[in-house]
Structure 1
Amino acid sequence: MIEVHNIQKAFNGNQVLKGITCTFETGKCNLLLGGSGTGKSVLLQCIVGLMKPDLGSITFDGTVFTNNKVDIRQEIRRKIGMLFQGGALFDSMTVYENTEFPLKMLTPEMSREERRDRVEFCLKRVGLENAGTKMPSEISGGMKKRVGIARAIAPQCTYLFCDEPNSGLDPATSIKIDQLIQEITYEYNITTVVITHDMNSVIEIGDHIIFMHKGLKLWDGTKDEILNAQVPELREFIFSSSLVRAAKKVDEESEGGLEALANGPLSEV
Structure 2
Amino acid sequence: MLVMRDVSKTFNPGTVNEKCALKNLNLTLKQGDFATIVGSNGAGKSTLFNAITGAFFADKGLIMLDGEDITYQKEHVRSKVIGHLFQDPLKGTAPHMTIEENMALAYLRTTTSKNAYFSRIKAADKKKFREQLALLDMGLEDRMKQPVGLLSGGQRQALTLLMATMVTPKILLLDEHTAALDPATAEKVLNLTKKIVSEQNITCLMVTHNMHQALELGNRTLMMDSGNIVLDVSGEEREKMSVDDLLEQFAVRAGKALDNDRILFSKVEA
Mapped pair 1:103 → 2:122: no
The alignment partner of 2:180 has SS state of coil
Which runs of structure 2 are paired with 1:214-229 in the superposition (5 Å)?
Answer: 214-222=226-234, 224-227=239-242, 228-229=245-246
Give me the whole-angstrom Cα distance separating, in 2, the residues matched to 1:82 and 1:212: 19
Report the residue type matching 1:144 in the other structure: R
Q: Is the 8 A contact 2:22 2:44 kept in 1?
A: yes
- Describe the shift of the 1:231–1:162 C-alpha distance in structure 2 as closer, same or farther (beyond 3 A): closer
Q: Is the 8 A contact 2:81 2:110 kept in 1?
A: no
Report the residue type matching 2:2 in the other structure: I
Deviation per CA, 1:28-47: give whole Å up to 9, x if none. 32222212211111110111
The alignment partner of 2:154 has SS state of helix
Q: Equivalent residue for 1:41?
A: 46
Q: Is the 8 A contact 2:223 2:250 kept in 1?
A: no
Deviation per CA, 1:234-256: give whole Å up to 9, x if none. 794399635536xxxxxxxxxxx
Give me the whole-angstrom Cα distance separating, in 2, the residues matched to 1:242 and 1:225: 21
The alignment partner of 1:175 has SS state of helix
- Describe the shift of the 1:99–1:16 C-alpha distance in structure 2 as closer, same or farther (beyond 3 A): same
- Describe the shift of the 1:225–1:65 C-alpha distance in structure 2 as closer, same or farther (beyond 3 A): farther
Give me the whole-angstrom Cα distance separating, in 2, the residues matched to 1:194 and 1:187: 17
Give me the whole-angstrom Cα distance separating, in 2, the residues matched to 1:114 and 1:50: 34
Q: Equivalent residue for 1:116?
A: 126
Report the residue type matching 2:101 in the other structure: E
The alignment partner of 1:129 has SS state of helix
CA displacement at 1:23 relative to structure 2: 1.9
Q: Equivalent residue for 1:150?
A: 162
Aligned pairs, number? 244
Any stretches of 5+ residues in structure 1 without a counterpart?
246-264
Give me the whole-angstrom Cα distance separating, in 2, the residues matched to 1:167 and 1:176: 12
- Describe the shift of the 1:110–1:198 C-alpha distance in structure 2 as closer, same or farther (beyond 3 A): farther
Mapped pair 1:188 → 2:200: yes
Give me the whole-angstrom Cα distance separating, in 2, the residues matched to 1:115 and 1:136: 19
Q: Equivalent residue for 2:135?
A: 125
- Describe the shift of the 1:110–1:65 C-alpha distance in structure 2 as closer, same or farther (beyond 3 A): farther
Q: Equivalent residue for 2:16?
A: none
Give me the whole-angstrom Cα distance separating, in 2, the residues matched to 1:200 and 1:119: 34
Any stretches of 5+ residues in structure 2 without a counterpart?
14-18
TM-score of the aligned structures, taking structure 1 as reference length: 0.79
The alignment partner of 2:142 has SS state of coil
Q: Is the 8 A contact 1:81 1:153 kept in 2?
A: yes
- Describe the shift of the 1:24–1:12 C-alpha distance in structure 2 as closer, same or farther (beyond 3 A): same
After TM superposition, the runs of 4+ consecutive aligned structure 1 residues lying more than 4 A away are 73-76
- Describe the shift of the 1:190–1:15 C-alpha distance in structure 2 as closer, same or farther (beyond 3 A): same
Give me the whole-angstrom Cα distance separating, in 2, the residues matched to 1:31 and 1:64: 24
Mapped pair 1:3 → 2:3: yes
Q: Equivalent residue for 1:80?
A: 82
- Select between 128-137 and 187-196 the one with higher mean Cα deviation: 128-137
The alignment partner of 1:101 has SS state of helix
Which runs of structure 2 are paired with 1:146-185 in the superposition (5 Å)?
Answer: 146-185=158-197
- Select between 134-143 and 223-232 the one with higher mean Cα deviation: 223-232
Give me the whole-angstrom Cα distance separating, in 1, the residues matched to 2:170 and 2:135: 17
Q: Equivalent residue for 2:66?
A: 61
- Describe the shift of the 1:57–1:110 C-alpha distance in structure 2 as closer, same or farther (beyond 3 A): farther
CA displacement at 1:185 relative to structure 2: 0.9
Q: Is the 8 A contact 1:58 1:65 kept in 2?
A: yes
- Percent of paired sites with the same residue: 26
The alignment partner of 1:155 has SS state of coil
